[in-house]
Amino acid sequence: MSNEQLSLFEESNFDSNDQKELIPTNAKIPIPPGTYASITEVAQHCNQCHRCGLGDTRTHAVVGRGNLKAPIMVVGEAPGQNEDETGLPFVGKAGQLLEKILASVNLDTEKDIFISNINKCRPPGNRVPTTEEMEACKPYLLEQIRLVDPKIILLAGATAVKGLTGEKRAITKIRGQWIEWDGRLCMPIFHPSYLLRNQSREVGKPKWLMWQDVQAVRAKFDEIQNNH
């Protein structure tokens, strides 16, 4: 083995258990790709994590639900009260609406989808997570994406788009457009809680736009499946 190969080996060989044990306590400790072998391991760290202040007030870390090898991943913002209490993402009214929307194009959250959030712990009063909080938690999400390995990622709401891709434009400007991120197809969509506040089904209104977007997702999913 050449010296160059040896140094590459050393850098990628992240098996220092001491270092790994420090991950949940210090946001400065990196989480290199390949740190976790399973979502269960990610969940264990999230549930003991204090990389940001949201760990101080959570009841449960909300790590994800659905098929651990799903072809489609939905990423939301952060847990709300119901999610914090149950430890499961998207379980309140917004979650039920999301299930209905996906079911309307025959996507099943148990089979086709894995659901997660940018931040795993609930921000007090359901405020938007800060940039620092999002950055502290992001490596867990990157590990989840690597492990689930979805073909399509749906980013529900502006915070999810910004948290993963850094894109800061308003969701009304970018929803429904495919973005390529890290070799994966991502689509920004409205957060279902926004649709709960905008109930009109008229042409051009958020609910109608969401219907267009979810049909585009279904069509792309079919296209990908037919090409394999």
DSSP 98-145: HHHHHHTTT--TTTTEEEEES-SSPPGGGPPPPHHHHHHHHHHHHHHH
Euclidean distance between CA atoms 121 and 29, whole angstroms: 19
Nearest CB to ligand SF4, comparing residues 57 and 96: 57
* Among residues 42, 61, 75, 94, the one that binds ligand SF4 under rule CB under 6 A: 61
* Among residues 39, 113, 136, 187, the one that binds ligand SF4 under rule CB under 6 A: 136
Under 8 Å between Cβ of 31 and 138: no
Residue with tokens 């914090």: 84
Nearest CB to ligand SF4, comparing residues 120 and 162: 120
**Shortest approach of ligand SF4 to residue 121 CB, angstroms?**
3
What separation in angstroms does the CA of 148 have from each of 141, 169, 227? 10, 27, 20
Euclidean distance between CA atoms 206 and 45, whole angstroms: 37
**Shortest approach of ligand SF4 to residue 217 CB, angstroms?**
27
Contact between 98 and ligand SF4 by CB under 6 A: the answer reads no
Q: What does the per-residue mask of binding to ligand SF4 show for 112-131, with x meaning CB under 6 A?
A: -------xxx----------
Contact between 186 and ligand SF4 by CB under 6 A: the answer reads no
Contact between 42 and ligand SF4 by CB under 6 A: the answer reads no
What single-letter DSSP state applies at residue 152? Answer: E
What's the token pair of residue 221? 């999913």
Residues lying near ligand SF4 in the complex (CB under 6 A) are found at 46, 49-52, 54-55, 61, 119-121, 133, 136-137
